[in-house]
Amino acid sequence: MAGGKPGNTNAEYLTEEVALQILDKAHSVINDKCYFLSDVADKCDTYREQFNYIAKKFKNNHIVFNTIKRLTNKCESIVVRKTAEGDINVALGIFILKSYHSLIETSKMQLEGGDEDKPINTIDYTKLSTDVLNDIVNATSDKT
């Protein structure tokens, strides 16, 4: 297989050299019009998950680690700048930055129903009588 080491019986083509070539190419295509990691990967004839695979495979390799960090920092800085300048919607900018760090919204748990041992209780106010609704309104009004 192209790029593999002679004698590599596991058919693993992703050597440190190949990984650095992919990352260097990715770094070179990042610009103001190409800063989403999926777009960067596409321009490098690969896929976004490839960057994660490289990071995991070479997690103890200082050179590869620094190259990946430079790449993601370059993308992040463009997103931050474009968000601050109003070129990217603020919510989208935050979403993109969170996705770079595998973060999710904390409200997701509530939207899905909470923990199994602490389910979220909901009340269907349309099924309450007028008297009960008035009591709720009055109780709320008394506290303000």
Amino acid at 24: D
The residue ranges of DSSP E strands in 1-144, in sequence order, are 114-115, 118-119
Cα first-last separation, the chain: 73
Assign 130 a pLDDT band (cuts: 50, 70, 90). Answer: confident
Query: Tell me, what's the pLDDT at 107?
Result: 46
Query: Tell me, what's the pLDDT at 81?
Result: 93
CA distance 76 to 47: 18
Lookup: tokens for 58: 């070479």
With H, G, I as helix, E, B as strand and everything else as coil, classify residue 34: strand
Query: Tell me, what's the pLDDT at 13?
Result: 79
Query: Tell me, what's the pLDDT at 119?
Result: 58
pTM comes to 0.60
Q: What is the DSSP string of 86-97?
A: TSS-HHHHHHHH
CB 64 within 8 A of CB 24: no
Beta strands 118-119 and 114-115 are antiparallel
- Average pLDDT over the chain, rounded to whole? 79
Taking only the tens place, the pLDDT of each residue in 49-107 is 898 899 999 989 999 999 998 998 999 999 999 999 999 999 888 888 888 776 555 44
Query: Tell me, what's the pLDDT at 141?
Result: 58
